[in-house]
Amino acid sequence: MRFKYGSIALLLFVFAGSCAKEEPILKTEEVYHQELDDLLNTFKAETGIVIYYEASNDAEQKNLEIMHGINSDVYYKGEKKYQLLQYWIEGLIDVLKAYPKTFMAKADLKSVFIVNSGSLSYSGIANLSKRSIAINRLHNAGYKETLAHELFHLFDPAPAQSVWTTEQQQFDMTWQSFNPPGFVYGDGCGLENTIKTYTQGFITDYCRCNSTEDRAVTFQMLVFHSDMLLGKTINDSYLESKVNFIRDLVNQYGYNL
């Protein structure tokens, strides 16, 4: 078969064009910002949970910021701000959606603040009255554990508050009955919250602070470090009772751990 030179040139041009790589269309920060707001508006419509990631003039946000000790300087301000925030918050939303709906309904989470500051004394904090959580340094992989810990504070039938009902007192007394004889909470506040600090009855030193932190940490470790936690229970009947108690509790709300 014979080709004319013109036909060969045309074929080569078409072949070269089909092999050329298309240049990716780069999104601007404005586009990432809009996509992030659309994502959060959809999530709020689906769950009722508001996620705050930058300062605004919203009165409710400002009120919650005061309660969490937040000011405009602690929000993330790095390069590619909205691109990174979109990536991080997409991960946060996936984590929140993974919790059973009945568990989340009991926790009754209303809002989450995303901040990034070394000046804050916490990695996470929960406000019971406003059903709000602040997470510091979302780009740190450990935020998932922090979120679990703070969520449990909202979920806890006997949360850290000044006045408990008789039922809440009985709930907490049952928990404290699992402690070693003679133990009194209080010597673990501000100490490490890692399994390497385990002592009999307490998976970390921080658990020894008070009963609400003890429950939140035990839940946190059961979710993220179950093998190590369960390994400790083999020779620790006190800790085993606590783990079984938390399992039975959250199982009532669709969370099978």
Q: What is the average per-residue pLDDT within 202-226?
A: 97
Residues 108 and 102: beta-carbon distance below 8 Å:
no
Q: How confident is the model over 79-91, as pLDDT tens digits?
A: 899 999 999 999 9
Please give the Cα distance from 10 to 171 (Å, whole number): 82
Q: How confident is the model over 89-113, as pLDDT tens digits?
A: 999 999 999 999 999 999 999 999 9
Q: What is the average per-residue pLDDT within 149-177?
A: 95
Closest C-alpha among 51, 67, 58 to residue 115: 51
Please give the Cα distance from 178 to 237 (Å, whole number): 8
Q: What is the average per-residue pLDDT within 54-78?
A: 95
DSSP state of 126: E
Q: Concatenated DSSP letters for 52-108?
A: E-S----HHHHHHHHHHT--GGGS---TTHHHHHHHHHHHHHHHHHHS-HHHHHHHT
pLDDT score recorded for residue 23? 56
This prediction has a pTM of: 0.88
50-52 sheet: strands from edge to edge: 50-52, 111-115, 132-136, 124-127
Closest C-alpha among 121, 118, 32 to residue 76: 118
pLDDT score recorded for residue 12? 41
Q: What is the average per-residue pLDDT within 133-157?
A: 94
Q: Model confidence at 10, in pLDDT bands (50, 70, 90)?
A: very low
Domain spans, the chain: 29-155, 166-251
Q: Model confidence at 15, in pLDDT bands (50, 70, 90)?
A: very low
Q: Model confidence at 14, in pLDDT bands (50, 70, 90)?
A: very low
